[in-house]
Every structure is written in C-alpha cells, then in structure tokens.
A and B are shown apart, each in its own frame.
Chain A
Amino acid sequence: MSEAGSSCTPCIGVIANPVSARDIRRIVANAGNLQITDRVSMLLRVLGAAGSMGVKKVLMMPDSGGVSAMLLRSLQRELQLQHNFPQIEFLDMSPTTTVNDTFLAARMMRDAGVKAIIVLGGDGTHRAVVRECRDVPIAGMSTGTNNAFPDMREPTITGIAVGLYASGKLSPAQALVQNKLIEVSINEGERRDIALVDAVISTDRFIGARALWKMENLAAVYLTFADPQAIGLSAIGGLLQPVGRREPGGLAITLSDDPLLCRVQLLAPIAPGMVRTVGIAHWEAMPANQPFTVALGAGVVALDGEREMTFDSGDRVQLTLVEKAFPTVDVAACMQFAACNGLLRLSSQPT
C-alpha cells in the first residue's frame, strides 16, 4: 500500500458524478435533478466531516461537468473563512464526461491505496465504481434518479463514518458490510458486466437514450435485493416478494402482459412519480452462483436502470447472483459502534 492510504496519512477517494440524474426520466417521469450547487454543498459537508475525523488527504475525480470547478471556487472561499478541510488532490486524468471517467478514477484511487471511496451518484454510478474496483470499500451518497443502492443520508454522517474507518478508529469488521451483485455474461464471458440492484431484459434492441421507462418492452427482471420502499424496476420485486440486502439470494421475475401467461398484475413505482401496471408471469428465488439463462431471443440488458448490452438471436445471455462480492461502509453500524464505545467523546467525567 502506498503512503496515501497508510494510517499516518489516512486518505480517501471521492467520485462525484456530475451528470447523474440528467437522463430522460426528467421529461417522462418528473424525476428530480440535484443541482451542481447542491452536489458541491454535499461534498463540502462530507469532506469537512471526514477531515474532523482525521482524514488528511482526499483524492478527487476531476470532471468537466461543473463539480470540480465549483468545488475549487468553494474551497477558496472556505479558506478565507478559516474553515479546515483535508488536502484535496485531483487525479491526473483528462475528463471525458463519460462513464470511462469513473472507471479510470476508481482504478487510480485503488492504485493510490485509498482506504475508501465516497461516491456521489445513483445506482449506475455506484455500479461503475464497483465494476472497476471490487476490493475498496465504498460509501454511497444518493444524487441519482432511483438511488435504490446508495443510502439517503445527511452527508455529514457519511463523512464521520468514513473518517472513523479511514483513520483506523474502526476495524473492517466493525465498519464494513459485504454486498451482493449480479454478473452478466454473454456467450460464456465474451462480454461481461455487473449490476448492483437490477439487471433487466428489454425487447428494445438499441441503447439510445439509455433509461428504461416503457413497461411494454420489459421481459424479465433479476434483482440482488428487492425493497418495498425502492423506486425503479427493483420496486417490482420489492412489492411482489421482498428480499433484503443482507439476505442470501436474489429474485428472478418473468414479465408478461399476455393474459394466458400473466399470473399477477402489480402496481409498482418503476420511476420517480411513475406508477405503472406490471404483468408478472413467474417469479422465483435466485440462489447464489446459479446461472439463469435469458429466454428472450434478442434485446438489451439494462443494468441498474440503463440500457447497456444489446444481444441478438444466437447470443447466450446468463445472469448469476454473487454474494459477498464487494464491501461498503455500513454507516449506521459505524455510528452505532462509535456511540456505544465513546469514539466521539473528547473527555468524560468519571461517574
């Protein structure tokens, strides 16, 4: 491990996607649009809190979507106000404003030995980080559209939890939790990818504007977990047969509007503000390490809300649930442990 991640100079990484929550669901579904100013405010809060816990250095992904530029301006102002922040160092990379930026930044952060990566984005951004970097713990903050994977939480608390872990006040056993994912393989590994929450099979056969919102095109849904309170396609499973994040296995659902095949008609919030009728033909548990083969002949695999992989007749698409696949910082557990063990008490009177 390099000096950046050693306990004497605890270092974390931050990947803030400037273009999450910018897709067509703002037009077709009144989805929210977290503004750049709000994302930078979140960053200032999380960085300030992590710094208060002893994090000295932060590696940040640069971007050309406005986050880096505004953060730099804000930090200059904060210095004038005598507020302390960790040293912020931008990675030496040229932003392309594509998902490749996230892939590259995650690799560079892992190579630099960061103790954890804080991610600002939705399900898709988190998926991109994990795809490149399964071994570094991530702490997610919701700035996307569905946000089934990242927590909705005040960034200050996330910053404290990550700071406690990165500075060595919490051990991995105390701070981290393992997560499930779905591995997607086309033609025995010719093409591979992953999903953290949902892998959805659509009859669309092109990537286009990426998001999925037309129920009539959906054929099957594979889920790592299914929360009844989730928004997005995982809500279908959440309202059909909930599966917890920490439970073993996932859920596989076959969809159909054909009256001969449809066993259940379900109302589900498939996007923010968009509650639709979903016809369900079949559902079953998805045990770990057991490949499920897609029945549809040609279509597209959408991963965590975005169309990513097209396939045609003759392609063999398989999905496999993997348990204990990557670690995240369990913010709630960190804070509970910190409170119970007095980690934030600076002094105490004997009782």
Chain B
Amino acid sequence: MAASNPFPLSKEALLTCYRTMRTIREFEDRLHVDFSRGDIPGFVHLYAGEEASAVGILTHLGDGDRIASTHRGHGHCIAKGVDVVEMMKEIYGKKGGCGNGKGGSMHIADLSKGMMGANGILGAGAPLICGAALAAKFRKKNEVGICFVGDGASNQGTFLESLNLAAVWNLPVIFVVENNGYAESTSRDYATAVNSYVDRASGFGIPGITVDGTDFLAVYEAAGEVIKRAREGGGPSLLECKMVRFHGHFEGDAQTYRAPGELEDVRINHDCLKIFSAHVLSAGVISSDELAAIDKSVLALIEDSVQQAKAAPLPTLADLTTDVYVNY
C-alpha cells in the first residue's frame, strides 16, 4: 500500500464519506424493495445514484449550517447527520420517527442538525434558505445555508425570486442544482427556455459553476470553494451537479422516458460509489477489505432500522392534534 494519501481528505475522513454514501445507497435500495411490497405508506422519491452530491457538499458543514432539501431528501438528511432509525420510522409512519410518523418521507427534518426539512413543494426550499442565511448573516458565526433544488424546480418562481433576494442581500447561501437529467419525465430542452442553471445565476449577478456530480472528489473540491466563499462574505453562488438517478422519479414510475439501455449504462459507468472506490483503491489509500467491512456494517444498520420501524407503534388518534403549533 502506498505511504502517501493523494486526496484532500484524511483516510479516516474518506472512510466516513464512503460510509455515509453507502448508508444512503442501502437506505434507498431497501426502501425500493419495501415500498414495492406495500410496507410503506405515502410516497417516496429515492436518491440512490446521487450520493456524491449530498456527501461531497455536506461534509464541509457543521450543525450550525442549515440546509433546505427537496422531495428527494433522504440523502441530504443522512449526509447532514439525521438519525437513520428515526428516518426509517418516519417513512414507515411510526411513532418515534423524526415527525412522530405524521410527516413521512417528504417532511423529514431535524433542526438540531441544521436540517430544515425535506419539502414536497418544488422550489419551496429556496426562500426558506434565504431566511436561514439572513439569520446566519446576523449571527456572524460564519455559518452558511445550502438549498438543494432539482433541474425542474429551477423553473419555479420561488427559485428565481430567491436568487434575486440572495444577491441583493449578499446572503451566505449556495444554491445547489442537482441535475439528474429529468424533471419528473419532462426533458429540459422542452420545458426550459435557457437550459443552463449557471446562466440563471448569472442573470442575477451570482457566479455559478458546473461539476461532475458523480465524482465525489470533484464535488468535494468545488463545494469547498463555494462554501469558503460564502463563509468569508463573498455572498451567494450556484453549484450545478450533473448526476444520475438509479430509480424512477417516484417509486412505481415505469420510466418509459428513458432510452433503451440507459439505466444499465448509468449503473455500470456512472455509479458514484464505484467511482469513489476505484479512486481510493487504485491509490492504495483504502483496502477492499476496509470497504467491505463498512458495507457489512451499513447493511446491518439498515436492517436494524427497518426492524425497529416495523416494531414501532403507529400514531394514535390522540396524536393527530399534537405538534400542530410549536412555541419558540
């Protein structure tokens, strides 16, 4: 094994990032199976295939930094440190979940971790993160806010208004466009007049960059610079991660809009976990045994979370009127 580590993270940090990405993958793949069996109420939108974006970006953050997520939010939640068992209970609609089983997949939040919430309304996270970033600016602790949107949501008025607000208030916020190629099933060329998210930001005087969202190291390096810029008072920026998703827009989506062989190609050639593993293994920094050990422990974690979720009680009628209002 080579003595030196060529990467900008320590071996321990690389192992942690791999564990987080693998946890997201197993979490989502398990939901894919359990949903198809009818075990899960409500809707789920799976993040599998996109892990390098969430982990490459959120590894730079602390609990005081806030994020606003999307309908496809499980990966962001896990990467921001939300408890996996509580997430699984929430998705199963059980007490003890992040929202005591009353919110489900698209309402997972944990304010103690700076995770302001997944969101069922496309583009709704953008104005929320502007509020969080404004608060961060006044707190003067060099904290930042990050908002994730999909390529479809970037056409929403809320997103464009938020770009304007972030620019005029010079907010410490990063708008991350997770471009997985499909706005549900609509092609971007059909639905977007200027098909460039960087250009959207330019229209408001905000710098934007595009990065290969399937390469953890590329995302990590680029995210480090945009986040550093925001912490130092450089204001908002936009980061477009070009990526792939392994499952449909929603579970049950037949994906008839994909080209023949596309999904197979994506899974073989654009799997961010395979790309990460190839990098660290070929550099001799991490061994395949170490990765396999993580894979095994993650599988056990996900199995345990499912068993705990299944065993947890359902909310009762009396729970219906609790948690409606919150005192601050």
Chain A: residues with CB nearer than 8 A to chain B?
A: 18-19, 22-24, 26-28, 30, 33, 35-37, 64-66, 68-70, 94, 97, 204-210, 298, 310, 312
Contact = CB atoms under 8 A, between A and B. Distances in A.
B186 interface: no
A193 to B, nearest CB: 18
Interface residues of B, number: 36
B211 interface: yes
Contact of B222 (A24, A30, A37, A69): A24
Given A206-B217, A208-B221, A22 B210 contact: yes
A122 to B, nearest CB: 14
Contact of B196 (A26, A35, A204): A35
Interface string B226-247: 1001000000010010100000
B6 interface: yes
B8 A208 contact: yes
11 contacts: A27-B222, A33-B207, A35-B202, A37-B199, A66-B189, A70-B195, A204-B6, A206-B279, A208-B217, A208-B218, A209-B222
A24 B283 CA distance: 25
B198 interface: yes
B195 A97 contact: no
Contacts of A69: 188-189, 195
A94 B259 CA distance: 10
B225 interface: yes
A36 B196 contact: yes
Complex A-B, nearest 9 residue pairs according to Cβ-Cβ distance, in ascending order: A205-B6, A66-B195, A69-B189, A22-B210, A208-B221, A209-B221, A209-B222, A26-B207, A35-B199
Contact of B195 (A33, A65, A204, A207): A65
B29 to A, nearest CB: 25
Most buried by A among B181, B189, B202, B215: B189
Interface in B19-51: none
Most buried by B among A22, A26, A36, A97: A26
A35 to B, nearest CB: 5
Most buried by B among A23, A27, A28, A37: A27
B297 to A, nearest CB: 27
Given A36-B196, A69-B195, A27 B210 contact: no
Contacts of A37: 194, 199
B159 interface: no
Given A22-B210, A26-B209, A64-B189, A33 B198 contact: yes
A310 B188 CA distance: 35
A206 B7 contact: yes
Given A24-B209, A26-B208, A69-B189, A35 B217 contact: no
Contacts of A28: 225
Interface string B189-214: 10011111011001000011111000
B92 interface: no
A205 B198 CA distance: 28
Interface in B139-160: none
Contacts of A312: 2
B220 interface: yes
A37 B202 CA distance: 12
Nearest to B200: A35
A97 B7 contact: no
B207 A27 contact: yes
Given A66-B195, A70-B194, A27 B189 contact: no
Contact of A207 (B208, B217, B225): B217
Contact of A97 (B199, B221, B242): B242
Contacts of A298: 4, 6
A314 to B, nearest CB: 10
Contacts of A33: 198-199, 202, 207-208
A209 B195 contact: no
Contacts of A310: 6
